[in-house]
């Protein structure tokens, strides 16, 4: 499997103006309010690998995913697929696709499955005629573990796991190189989750796919990811090879997140719960954004914001870890 760079993101920023209307601000004297959903994120993903992006709800994971697939334009920064900007329309076909969290909400209930999967093939002119389109649809359905005859059925006739297989087939129909998976199994039963994850791993091995896996479920990320990025309040606070991060977490937030994973070998181990809530991205705390919840916070953590720095093959944004 090639080790070339599939995706590069540099200093990506996404801001949302949540201020009251201009006239209301003038009359009340209120200042503008800006929500920093993604605040200077940089990373690379090698072809054929999986990057897991982990964090609590509200940390900016889904906004980052939407930026990568082009559903949300970045306020600043660059996103490049290999050596070409993702926004470049000359690529001929969208090489980045998304697998959404809720497969039923992302499928048109009025269309038959065959039309749902065939739409990108027709729009992108990836088949020479209609017979080739139908043959490709049948092949894709069988690839994801469904039957070719399922093309005549509607989405409501399938289970949640089967609908997610349809979503995967639709993403593969574009011949995309990178799949952004935003909580792809969180709406499914546990047994079905394992089936979908194993399907994704098989497809990655067979087709050389690159995954960006967005999740708050660390067990899923540990099963899937080669590399991991821990996200907090719009920024990465720790990145590195997944096994190294799980074995030796360096940022206090990462350690507290890992405490939430059940351990069947040590079911009664002492665990420190993750208390408090993610601060508002509209009015973040000064210094390190995690310091109000950090059991190791020092005076400098309340005044200066640590930057992500490389140390022994890992990137960590923490004064305490470097001490």
Residue 308: per-residue pLDDT: 92
What b/e sequence results for 279-299 when a residue is b if at least 16 CB atoms lie within 10 Å of its CB, and e otherwise? Answer: bebeebbebbbbbebbeebee
Contact 169, 145 (CB under 8 A): no
For residue 31, the model assigns a pLDDT of: 84
* Residue with tokens 């954004």, as numbered in its chain: 289
23-35: pLDDT as tens digits: 887 888 888 899 9
pTM reported for the whole predicted model: 0.89
User: Looking at residue 189, what is its pLDDT?
Assistant: 85
Contact present, 142 and 148 (Cβ < 8 Å): yes
CA 35, CA 75: separation in Å to the nearest integer? Answer: 12
Is it the case that residue 172 has pLDDT exceeding 50? yes
- The pLDDT score that the predictor gives to residue 85 is 74
Give 288 or 84, the one with higher predicted confidence: 288
- Domain positions in the chain are 5-95+176-322
Sheet with 50-54: strands ordered across: 96-99, 178-182, 210-215, 50-54, 227-232, 235-241, 314-316, 309-311
Mean pLDDT along residues 182-199: 89
Q: Span 7-12, mean pLDDT?
A: 95
CB 227 within 8 A of CB 294: no
Topology annotation, domain 5-95+176-322? Rossmann fold (3.40.50)
């Amino acid at each position: 499997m090639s080790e070339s760079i599939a995706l590069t993101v540099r200093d990506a920023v996404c801001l949302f103006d949540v201020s009251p209307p201009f006239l209301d601000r003038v009359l009340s004297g209120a200042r503008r309010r800006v929500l920093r959903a993604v605040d200077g994120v940089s990373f690379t993903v090698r072809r054929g690998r999986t990057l897991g992006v982990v964090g609590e709800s509200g940390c900016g994971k889904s906004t980052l995913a939407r930026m990568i697939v082009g559903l949300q334009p970045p306020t600043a920064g660059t996103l490049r697929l290999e050596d070409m900007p993702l926004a470049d329309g000359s690529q001929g076909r969208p090489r980045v696709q998304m697998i959404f969290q809720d497969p039923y909400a992302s499928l048109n209930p009025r269309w038959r499955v065959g039309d749902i999967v065939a739409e990108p093939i027709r729009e992108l002119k990836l088949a020479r005629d209609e017979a080739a389109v139908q043959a490709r649809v049948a092949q894709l359905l069988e690839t994801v573990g469904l039957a070719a005859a399922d093309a005549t059925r509607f989405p409501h006739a399938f289970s949640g796991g089967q609908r997610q297989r349809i979503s995967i087939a639709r993403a593969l129909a574009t011949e995309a190189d990178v799949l952004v998976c935003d909580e792809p199994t969180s709406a499914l039963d546990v047994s079905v989750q394992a089936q979908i994850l194993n399907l994704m791993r098989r497809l990655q091995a067979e087709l050389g796919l690159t995954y960006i896996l967005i999740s708050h479920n660390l067990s899923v990320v540990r099963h899937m990811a080669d590399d991991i990025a821990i996200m907090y309040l719009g920024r990465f606070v720790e990145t590195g090879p997944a096994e190294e991060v799980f074995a030796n977490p360096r940022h206090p937030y990462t350690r507290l997140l890992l405490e939430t994973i059940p351990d069947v070998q040590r079911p009664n181990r002492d665990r420190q719960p993750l208390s408090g809530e993610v601060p508002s991205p509209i009015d973040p705390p000064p210094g390190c954004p995690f310091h109000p919840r950090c059991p190791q916070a020092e005076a400098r953590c309340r005044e200066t914001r640590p930057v992500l720095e490389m140390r022994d093959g890992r990137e960590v944004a923490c004064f305490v870890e470097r001490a």
